Amino acid sequence: MNAMPKRLSPDLIGQLVAIVGADGVLSEADAVEQVTRTCVPFRTQPSAVVYPRTVEQVQALVQAAAAADVPLWPVSTGKNWGYGERTAVYEQGITVILERMNRIVHVDETLGYAVIEPGVTYKQLNDHLKSTGSRLWSDCAGTTQHASVLGNALDKGRGLTPMADHFGNICGMDVVLPDGQLLETGGGSTGNNTVRHLYKWGVGPCLDGLFAQSNLGIVVRAGIWLMPAPEVFDFAAFEYKAGPERLGDFIDDLRELVMARALRSFPHLANDFAMMCILSQYPNDLLDGRKHLSESAAARWRKEHGVAQWTFGAGLYGSREEVRYQKRMLRKVFGRYGMVQFIGAAVQDNWYGRLVRKVAPMVNRLLGKSPEFTDVMVPAINLYRGIPTDEFVRQAYFRSHDQKPKTDIDPARDGCGFVWVGPVVPFTSGHVLKALAVTRQINEKHEFDFFVEVIVESARSVIVLVGVFYDRHNPAEAARALAWYHDARAAYLHDGYPPYRATSMSMPGAMDGNPVARDFLASIKAVVDPQNLLAPGRYGMPLRPADNAQ
């Protein structure tokens, strides 16, 4: 690791420049280092980075790589901060960043979908819809607004609105195969299939799934479904105030709300520490020489800001009758466990919205909350309308810097250290409490604070998203984070909770728990990509023996 990357032959560099243009190739070591920085405690560096602009350029790159026998590591924008970003699982090779392929090819107002390239960001798609007066909403993730819509979907990322299942809303892909051919998924006749972005299952075996968390091809274009703006939108802000002994009942009641579609958004239940990351800066003064906060120090800090044990928001969507139902149920069920406030009006562009925004600081003060609660109110509500923001991803700087920056957020570039693991857990009190207990124990063991968000995935499962923040520039701290990561991952797998996403640290072994599936995929990989040129080692599919892998 961290060996100086081998330079590519001048001949190959020349070919890359001929394909994408001189401004699309980085091969100078400093430049390569800068654009491939990572937040996770594992770093490799490619020999070059290329930025294609067109499908044809991607096809030519695949062919040039094959001729030179140099692997390609494609990423959309690579802003999956804390999961591995643009880091290949091996040294050297060529990293392909698709951010310049950023065309919104088509938006269909009537049928509710867009066809986009992998460089299209949440902000770009949302701005486009707003500026064209579209009736459609896109979903977005809680991450940076500059992340790739398709990249997140292909990594099975999650949003918050009723369209939160990003991969589930992908329909119909164009994929450059390792041999350079362009595959159009969805059956029908190539170039003449009116329903390839409308009907998910196509004709014959469904291929879209093969290209999620995959190295079998490069997705260069796809359809993504969008939702029409609902007649009524509202937002419930909830704080869990009951004791820990009632958390299990709350989890079960929450599942029933989703099952009965009284809850249509997919909230992230932030624990106190996760909420503090959003609201505040790490209180180093409370550490008392420890590596993480003591129980009592954390409690003191929490109280200062007026943060509850669990906090989250939920969007309400639908006709007036439907929203009335949702309100009735949320009030009834959430009311048993804490405080629920319906504050969707705060984003309305009228006198009432202005009034709510005006009185919010006073109300928060009366409730004993810090002013930062008011700062995040509007961006939080907007997330539930699919409007992306960098407000929440600023938490990446929470421990690494004295002050979170206000603009130009890029924690990978700026040396923030953090890493995520998100086991998928059955949506029952028994399983969720067990996963939380396991997490607490492992974080305790490795002396990390207990940061967790319980992400509602569906009525049937949740993702228990756990993160740690560490000092990237301190090798001992990085080693501690790495040890935590492997330990946590192993513990979740042991308990039957597979992480929904691997990172550059866990990809090569991602399928080791299921050898039949791993070998089945490896045999497909061997025939589709016999030289193993596309992202070798991604999600359990074999590394190239020649590559300098971890």
Give residues 416-435 in contact with a copy of itself (rule: CB under 8 A): 424-428, 431
Give the C-alpha separation, 73 to 58, whole Å.
12
Site for a copy of itself contains 405 (CB under 8 A): no
Give me the amino acid identity at 248. Answer: G
Give residues 17-56 in contact with a copy of itself (rule: CB under 8 A): none
Nearer to a copy of itself, 261 or 413 (CB): 261
Nearer to a copy of itself, 166 or 369 (CB): 166
Nearer to a copy of itself, 444 or 512 (CB): 512
Question: How far from 326 is each of 263, 264, 317, CA to CA, in Å?
Answer: 7, 9, 8
Give the binding range for a copy of itself (CB under 8 A) out of 14-22, 24-32, 39-47, 183-191: 183-191
Nearer to a copy of itself, 47 or 148 (CB): 148
Site for a copy of itself contains 545 (CB under 8 A): no
Give the C-alpha separation, 517 to 49, whole Å.
32
Q: Is 105 left (phi over 0), alpha (psi -120 to 50) or beta?
A: alpha
Give the C-alpha separation, 111 to 228, whole Å.
9
Nearest distance, CB of residue 77 and a copy of itself, angstroms: 21
Site for a copy of itself contains 459 (CB under 8 A): yes
Residue 301 structure tokens = 């800090």
Nearest distance, CB of residue 369 and a copy of itself, angstroms: 32
Among 151, 148, 150, 129, which residue's Cα sits nearest to residue 138? 129
Site for a copy of itself contains 496 (CB under 8 A): yes
Give the C-alpha separation, 315 to 170, whole Å.
22
Under a CB-based contact definition with an 8 Å cutoff, are residues 221 and 197 in contact? no
Among 9, 130, 515, 546, binds a copy of itself (CB under 8 A): 515
Nearest distance, CB of residue 276 and a copy of itself, angstroms: 29
Nearer to a copy of itself, 300 or 328 (CB): 328
Among 60, 510, 533, 543, binds a copy of itself (CB under 8 A): 510
Residue 464 structure tokens = 């228990």
Backbone angles phi, psi at 167, to 5 degrees: -65, -35
SS3 465: strand
Nearest distance, CB of residue 76 and a copy of itself, angstroms: 17
Instruction: Give the count of beta carbons closer than 10 Å to the beta carbon of residue 158.
Output: 23
Nearer to a copy of itself, 442 or 510 (CB): 510
Give residues 525-544 in contact with a copy of itself (rule: CB under 8 A): 526-528, 539-541
Binding mask 198-237 for a copy of itself (x = CB under 8 A): xxxxxxxxxxxxxxxxx-x--------x--x--x------
Chain length of the chain: 550
Up-side HSE of residue 299: CA atoms within 13 Å toward CB? 3
Give the binding range for a copy of itself (CB under 8 A) out of 60-68, 70-78, 406-414, 506-514: 506-514
Nearest distance, CB of residue 501 and a copy of itself, angstroms: 8
Site for a copy of itself contains 268 (CB under 8 A): no
| Alpha helix (H) residue ranges in 21-156 | 29-35, 55-68, 122-131, 149-154
Nearest distance, CB of residue 343 and a copy of itself, angstroms: 21
Site for a copy of itself contains 249 (CB under 8 A): no
Nearest distance, CB of residue 407 and a copy of itself, angstroms: 34
Binding mask 77-116 for a copy of itself (x = CB under 8 A): ---------------------------------xxxx---
Nearer to a copy of itself, 416 or 502 (CB): 502
Give the C-alpha separation, 340 to 225, whole Å.
31
Interface with a copy of itself (CB under 8 A), residue total 93
Nearer to a copy of itself, 34 or 189 (CB): 189
Give residues 301-320 in contact with a copy of itself (rule: CB under 8 A): 318-320
Question: How far from 23 is each of 9, 15, 52, 53, CA to CA, in Å?
Answer: 18, 13, 10, 11
Eight-class DSSP state of 114: E
Nearest distance, CB of residue 153 and a copy of itself, angstroms: 10
Nearest distance, CB of residue 130 and a copy of itself, angstroms: 20
Among 484, 465, 481, which residue's Cα sits nearest to residue 421? 465
Nearest distance, CB of residue 225 and a copy of itself, angstroms: 7
Give residues 320-379 in contact with a copy of itself (rule: CB under 8 A): 320-322, 324-325, 328-329
Under a CB-based contact definition with an 8 Å cutoff, are residues 420 and 466 in contact? yes
Give the C-alpha separation, 25 to 94, whole Å.
10
Among 163, 166, 249, 258, which residue's Cα sits nearest to residue 460? 258
SS (H, E, C) 158-187: ECCCCCCECHHHEEEEEEECCCCCEEECCC
Nearest distance, CB of residue 447 and a copy of itself, angstroms: 28
Among 497, 504, 505, 535, binds a copy of itself (CB under 8 A): 497
Q: H/E element holding 494?
A: helix 475-494
Nearest distance, CB of residue 330 and a copy of itself, angstroms: 12
Nearest distance, CB of residue 259 and a copy of itself, angstroms: 6
Among 81, 122, 137, 167, binds a copy of itself (CB under 8 A): 167
Among 54, 309, 348, 458, binds a copy of itself (CB under 8 A): 458
- DSSP sequence for 448-463: ---EEEEEE-SSSEEE
Residue 450 structure tokens = 């207990």
Under a CB-based contact definition with an 8 Å cutoff, are residues 166 and 212 in contact? no
Site for a copy of itself contains 194 (CB under 8 A): yes
10 Å CB burial of residue 325 (0-12, 13-18, 19+) is middle
